[in-house]
Chain A
Amino acid sequence: MRLPTSAACLLGVALIAFGQGTGGTISGTVTDVDGRAVPGAQVQAKNEAGAQFQAKAAASGGYTLAELPAGTYQITIASPGLQPFMKRNVTVQAGQTARVDASLVDFASLGSVGEDRTFYANAFGAHDAPTGPAPRTPDGKPDFSGVWHTLRVVDPGKPEPLPWAEEVTKERQANNMKDLPSARCLPIGITLEGLLLGFRIMQNPTVLAFLYEDELPRQIYLDGRKHPEESLSPFVGHSVGKWEGDTLVVDAVGFNDKTWLDIQGHPHTDKMHIVERYRRKDLGHLDVEITIDDPGAYKKPWSMKRATELAGADEEVGQYVCTENNRDVQHLVGK
């Protein structure tokens, strides 16, 4: 209760002092490490009362958040492919302008050609999608077939790791993810597939298959079979699907413990059981909810949500043979 009261007092004082509008302004310029403008950067201001305000950087990199209630703000500035910028304790007073300039640093690929911020902006942004009803197979089930854009993380979920799993996650982050399986050309795991490159789904009444450019294909059996005693595909698990109305519910077990679950580096054990719910709500949109139940690593099951859009009919999923010339391993020092 204290904060809103003090904010109101501050506002009152400001009104008396300046005798004008009740709002203040935060403005500034968003640039990259080369000093170039970052158009379209999302600027968010949040005050101690929890109110949030947004602006987008213009072509010049400049932004303005006007008519803000007086108070103390936390500013976050983000643009795909660049590390987010944060500044706390920015004071806004009525009738005055606080200046917050930001220099955003490249991350992930450090701006490497081919995998620069343009690449990430395309990969992580929402895409235009065709409109119309979801197609159906001859037997009346929703048909997920098509080439889909990269999956967007809508909700990363809130895993509650057991102490050992939390330690592993922290260690991976502290070492800048140097042991990411894909760096050694090992499969990245089904919960990370499709986050960087688009993928194709092929479906018939008995099996639905995911084809990836950079990962092993994955098959989901729709013919009513049970999980085998021993999985033949431990990196991606054994997956069986059934229909609940128009939602495809996939049950997957039979994993090894060598893949990572998410971009935070959460581990899992071979006790992991995954349930995915796929829904093609219309022609252009695919939603996925993934629930992870791994009593060997987490206190309770947790869920993440993804979404994507249908790509154009001319899009192709290529091939990527990671072991061709992997020269990175010996240079991955981590910190």
Chain B
Amino acid sequence: MMGAEKVGMMKGMAGAACFGLLCAAMPALAHHAFVAEFDANKRVKVSGTVTKLEWTNPHAWLYVDGKDESGKVTNWAFEMGSPNTLIRQGWRRTALKEGDQVTVEGYAAKDGSNNANARSVTLPDGTKVFAGSPATDGGPAR
């Protein structure tokens, strides 16, 4: 039977590969479904001054005063993971402080507010704040 052996192999790998509906409905796996709040088609990039870092549950929030082309300043609120998920990726509550200059990229809120999620936080020298730091081996804490 053509491909029978390969099909058998696939069966064993299906869990890891996470194909189909299993993945499609996974927005439920977070404190809240980010796609219910933020628009995956509305990328935002804000450069400016950190005004506050709320190191709180269920999410840390990074507030940044960003200036648009006309010079108008808007205070953006960027949602990040929970403090514990951030800590496990290398963040610390002292990672950013008031007055730091940053560029934050993310997706804007669907409701038109000045909220967004933060996909990356970049310092003026181009380094990203803990982006891509390997977590622990998937463990719950360290």
Chain A residues within CB distance 8 Å of chain B:
42, 44, 47, 49-54, 69, 76, 78, 80, 83-84, 105-116, 118-128, 147, 149-150, 152-154, 156, 173, 175-178, 180, 182-183, 185, 192, 195-199, 213-214, 260, 263-265, 307, 311-312, 314-318, 320-322, 324-328, 331-334
Contacts and interface: CB of A to CB of B under 8 A. Distances in A.
Contact of B36 (A113, A126, A192, A333): A333
Interface residues of B, number: 76
B139 A315 contact: yes
Contacts of A156: 21-22
A265 B32 contact: no
B140 A110 contact: no
B138 A180 contact: no
Contacts of A325: 54, 56-59, 61
Nearest to A309: B138
Given A114-B81, A325-B56, A327-B59, A153 B22 contact: yes
Nearest to B58: A322
Contacts of B13: 42, 54
Contacts, number: 266
B140 A177 contact: no
Contact of A265 (B20, B25, B54, B109): B25
B2 A152 contact: no
Contacts of A321: 57
Contacts of A183: 31-33, 36
Interface of B: 2-3, 6-7, 9-10, 13, 15-38, 40, 54, 56-61, 77, 79-82, 84-86, 88-89, 91, 106-107, 109-111, 113, 115, 117-121, 129-142
B121 A54 contact: no
Contacts of B60: 114
A109 B58 contact: no
A331 B23 contact: no
B28 A107 contact: no
Contacts of B34: 108-110, 112
B15 A42 contact: no
A47 B57 CA distance: 47
Contacts of B107: 110
Contacts of A111: 117, 119
18 contacts: A49-B3, A78-B23, A83-B24, A107-B23, A108-B30, A109-B117, A113-B91, A115-B80, A115-B81, A119-B81, A178-B32, A182-B32, A196-B29, A315-B141, A316-B141, A316-B142, A325-B58, A331-B111
Contacts of B36: 175-178, 183, 332-334
B24 to A, nearest CB: 7
A88 B109 CA distance: 33
A197 B83 CA distance: 13
A51 B6 contact: yes
Given A44-B19, A153-B22, A311-B140, A176 B81 contact: no
A93 to B, nearest CB: 17
A199 B138 CA distance: 12
